[in-house]
Structure 1
Amino acid sequence: MTTDAARWSIATRVAFSVLTTAGLLGWAAPEAAGQNWPQWRGPSSVGISPESNLPTRWSTTENMAWRAPLAGLGTSSPIVWGDRVFVTSQIGSARVAPGSHPQLARDNRSLAERESAIGGRRSASDAEIWLVVEAFRRSDGRRLWQYRTDATGPLPELHEKHNLATPTPVTDGERVYAWFGNGQLVALDMEGRVVWTRHLGIEYSPFEAQWGHGSSPMLHGDLLLLLCDHLPSSYLLALDARTGKERWKADRGAGRVSHSTPVVIPGPEGDELLVNSSERIDVYDPATGTLLWYADGDRQTPIPSAVFHEGRIYMSRGYRNSDYMAIRPGGRGDVTKTHIDWRAPAGASYVPSILYYDGLLYLTNEIGVVTCADARSGERVWQHRLDSVFFASPVAGDGKIYLVSETGETIVLRAGREPDVLARNDLAERFIASPAISNGRLFLRSDRTLFAVGN
């Protein structure tokens, strides 16, 4: 658990506020599990909703259920459970790394000019920084509660495009787990009360990573899984979700880089935990942390996560104009030559993850080009230029593909073997976070605002 100094700091300096409007804290079970979006990229981490009648067109005045200002800035994605939407943010400005910061669309000057720092401009760091978790009522956007604690311990230098509120929280319907880019971790009950806290940046090693930490937490059974590939120390950690106590820790050396969120997939002999990192793809037993197999070679700055469908893993490693591949799970040792079914040499994204939907793969690259490929072979079906800046990973449902651009637009495509743009919906704010889908609505998070789109 936390060191005595860290525990004292957290216990004495936490601020927790509850809006006391009558009835706001009454908790009801979710209406249906399929309507929840409990983690980054939703159920099973694949970015797909089974719902129908999802919105196609909207604006600031049309088909907008509600919008809610957030307490601070952030780039984490919203999650939804029952009638609650959870999101994290940061109050105050964290340190950014000195010098120039690379832009995603630097190979397209007109697109690069539309990129900006979080909040619209680079700000000087503040002496005090607060980390925030908020809960909103899904039906009307009313804020139900807010938890905040001050950022403690070593604070990393970040890329200007994000802050410490980058990892997306996760929930099991009993607790919400929020992790921040300095290693602070809190488990809250559904009414915002603290269940337990940890500070991995103090207890294990400082969260020093190139451009800051980006990986999100994930749940598997009663385990909370956390990827910490950082320069001083690299490791994979499993905590007891109920108590926060360590269940296992897999040391991965030092100097590894990964901003990717791990995923659990069903293997032929049991579940497998896949990590996309700078040295290679590693796969572990999620129950014990034992390394099972690995594939491929080194890659600079891996960010995308894998998706799984019917016996195949689909993923890109990341970086510019990345290759992408299909891999069969279930190997042992180095499976590079035995389990990679196909590999396409280019067209995948630097940041967003692949979307698998109805037999097709959808990928975006760093200059706003969308590629659709056949999942069986990896062969290109079509490409289409959208002139957008994509950091958010695409999601799909109701026969539609949703692509959220930093520039404020969400482009809606008809899923299929021909490029068909149904709508371009501009909310005139900066969007880095990936969307969530629940109960017929699309939930979008800009730097400072939470939007609920749809009736």
Structure 2
Amino acid sequence: NQGDSFAAGIDTKTGETRWRMERPTGANWSSPVVLPAGGKRGESVLLQSHDGLTAVEPMTGEVLWRYETQCSGIPSSLMSDGWLLVPSNGITALKLSDESNSPELAWDENRLRPGSPSPVAHDGKVYVLASGVLKCGDLESGDVLWQLRLAGQHWATPVIAGEHLYAINADGTAHVVKLGEKGELAATNEFGQGVMGTPAIVGDAMFVRTKGQLWKIASP
């Protein structure tokens, strides 16, 4: 937040604070990201701020590495198939090595800059949503493959189920996008209430929180 900015590790069994770390002040809505172990690299937790990235050991808070880049303060980074996708002045793609804790820059593409929603990845592609435009990029190269106009302002991060992406705008309009070589708007549905939070997919159901209700969407 803009006041007492810190990160802390909490013991899930006892509620005890195991460690606490001062963080850069300033508005920051991004969430921590768990980076899985691989090779000689142990599991870590990624903290994001306007000043860059900090990876810490989850049990002790020990700083394992830092990466200086201008990160966004709202959308969160994403770990997918060995790629660390960082919202910045676009998307900065880092590769984590099994032999080292330090990441390496793979590509940086300013045309993939996300808005408030965090990036999502699926089947070798990365998707970002900003100013009502959904863009698809190649995960290996960062090349922009296609873009599709969606109505309204979006705060919720899109979710993907099967071959469809679901993006719900702040007015409660749900866009169903069929993924492929080009994005195709397959359907739109109205919740009739505002949506700010990201939907959750559990099994074969999707849960959506609107301003006044919680919806479960599933096949009968």
Mark yes or no: TM-score above 0.5: yes
TM alignment of 1:183-202, pairs within 5 A: none
The reply on whether 1:284 has 2:56 as its aligned counterpart is yes
Cα distance in 1 for partners of 2:54, 2:138 equals 25
Residue from 234, 237, 241 that aligns with 2:12: 241
Q: How has the CA–CA distance of structure 1 residues 420 and 391 changed in structure 2, closer, same or farther, with 3 Å as cutoff?
A: same
Say which one has the larger Rg. 1
Paired residues of 1:276 and 1:304 also in contact (CA < 8 A) = no
Match of 1:311 in 2: 82
Higher RCO (CA-CA < 8 Å; seq separation 6+): 1
Letter of the aligned partner of 1:323 in structure 2?
G
Q: How has the CA–CA distance of structure 1 residues 432 and 304 changed in structure 2, closer, same or farther, with 3 Å as cutoff?
A: same
Report the CA distance between 1:434 and its aligned residue: 0.5
The reply on whether 1:296 has 2:76 as its aligned counterpart is no
Q: How has the CA–CA distance of structure 1 residues 266 and 332 changed in structure 2, closer, same or farther, with 3 Å as cutoff?
A: closer
Report the CA distance between 1:297 and its aligned residue: 2.9
TM alignment of 1:21-100, pairs within 5 A: none
TM-score, L = length of structure 2:
0.90
Cα distance in 1 for partners of 2:115, 2:37 equals 27
Paired residues of 2:8 and 2:17 also in contact (CA < 8 A) = yes
Question: What secondary structure, in the 3-state scheme, does the structure 2 residue paired with 1:270 have?
Answer: coil
Cα distance in 1 for partners of 2:34, 2:59 equals 11
Report the CA distance between 1:441 and its aligned residue: 1.7
Question: What secondary structure, in the 3-state scheme, does the structure 2 residue paired with 1:328 have?
Answer: strand
Letter of the aligned partner of 1:349 in structure 2?
P
The reply on whether 1:263 has 2:33 as its aligned counterpart is yes
Matched pairs, number: 215
Residue from 89, 95, 115 that aligns with 1:328: 95
TM-superposition CA deviations, 1:43-87 (whole Å, max 9, x none):
xxxxxxxxxxxxxxxxxxxxxxxxxxxxxxxxxxxxxxxxxxxxx
Q: How has the CA–CA distance of structure 1 residues 250 and 295 changed in structure 2, closer, same or farther, with 3 Å as cutoff?
A: same
Report the CA distance between 1:278 and its aligned residue: 1.5
Match of 1:375 in 2: 139
Cα distance in 2 for partners of 1:257, 1:355 equals 23
The RMSD of aligned alpha carbons is 1.8
Identity of aligned residues (%): 26
TM alignment of 1:216-227, pairs within 5 A: none
Report the CA distance between 1:417 and its aligned residue: 1.9
Cα distance in 1 for partners of 2:86, 2:21 equals 23
Report the CA distance between 1:332 and its aligned residue: 5.2
Question: What secondary structure, in the 3-state scheme, does the structure 1 residue paired with 2:180 have?
Answer: coil
TM-superposition CA deviations, 1:319-348 (whole Å, max 9, x none):
xxx410211235557x6xxx1100101332
Paired residues of 2:112 and 2:137 also in contact (CA < 8 A) = no
Q: How has the CA–CA distance of structure 1 residues 387 and 397 changed in structure 2, closer, same or farther, with 3 Å as cutoff?
A: same
Cα distance in 2 for partners of 1:425, 1:350 equals 22
Match of 1:214 in 2: none
Structure 1 runs not aligned, ≥5 long: 1-208, 210-229
Cα distance in 2 for partners of 1:400, 1:244 equals 39
TM alignment of 1:410-449, pairs within 5 A: 410-449=174-213
Cα distance in 2 for partners of 1:326, 1:267 equals 18
Match of 1:362 in 2: 127
Instruction: Give the structure with the larger helix fraction.
Output: 1
Q: How has the CA–CA distance of structure 1 residues 298 and 355 changed in structure 2, closer, same or farther, with 3 Å as cutoff?
A: closer
Residue from 95, 99, 110 that aligns with 1:345: 110
Question: What secondary structure, in the 3-state scheme, does the structure 2 residue paired with 1:346 have?
Answer: helix
Report the CA distance between 1:304 and its aligned residue: 1.3
Cα distance in 2 for partners of 1:408, 1:256 equals 30
Cα distance in 2 for partners of 1:417, 1:355 equals 17
Residue from 20, 24, 44 that aligns with 1:272: 44
Cα distance in 2 for partners of 1:282, 1:245 equals 23
Structure 2 runs not aligned, ≥5 long: none
Letter of the aligned partner of 1:328 in structure 2?
K
Instruction: Give the structure with the larger strand fraction.
Output: 2
